Structure 1
């Protein structure tokens, strides 16, 4: 089973555990559908800025994450939070995970573009 086939709840647990073992903090801000909810990742740099990473698929169907920082929202935390709030109101299944890391690491094993 590839990472793209993991249940959302298990994938989120693994992401949070990875962040914590590397010295960062990770939180579930909003819990979505356990089996197939999309997971949006906010990486807070603890200086008022953040990164916004959203899931996508490449042409071969492989899971990757798109960095929307400065494109759709951000890099300031309030604009990213507003985007995440809007997405959550539109999609009841979506997960929102926040990673707090001064180095800006996402801990994603998927490709980030």
Structure 2
């Protein structure tokens, strides 16, 4: 039996609240389909070092994430272009940016939604 999946807009809401609870903040860069949209996260630490994370497809009961792109802050253009390419392939995708004080806080946030 397939386990029910949390609606995308609910997952985004949880991410935003978890980011704030861990001393960071979240911003929705792009809204996708409220029910079935996929999700991409851009993580920043104190406004720097953007890293893109996407869910790993698989049969695991918990949601796993993998790092896709890690660029220096000078490469904002690359991050923007990557997001645009992804959105053109998947019009239902949500793009969320989480700015956290430390990488460990981001790990804690992801654990809360797994």
TM-score range, shorter chain: 0.7 to 0.9
Look up the match of 2:19.
19
Provide structure 2 residue ranges, at least 5 long, that are not aligned to the other structure: none
Over aligned residues, Cα RMSD in angstroms?
A: 2.3
Between the aligned partners of 2:53 and 2:4, the Cα distance in structure 1 is: 16
After TM superposition, give the deviation of residue 81 of structure 1 in Å: 2.4
Map residues 69-108 of structure 1 onto 2, 5 A cutoff.
Answer: 69-70=69-70, 74-76=71-73, 77-78=75-76, 79-104=78-103, 105-106=105-106, 107-108=109-110
Map of 1:33 onto structure 2? 33
TM-score (norm 2): 0.78
Structure holding more helix per residue: 2
Q: CA deviation at 1:50?
A: 1.2
Aligned residues between the structures: 106
> 5+ unaligned residues in a row in structure 1: which ranges?
none
> Which segment drifts farther, 84-93 or 12-21?
84-93
> Given the two structures, how large is their TM-score scaled by the length of structure 1?
0.78
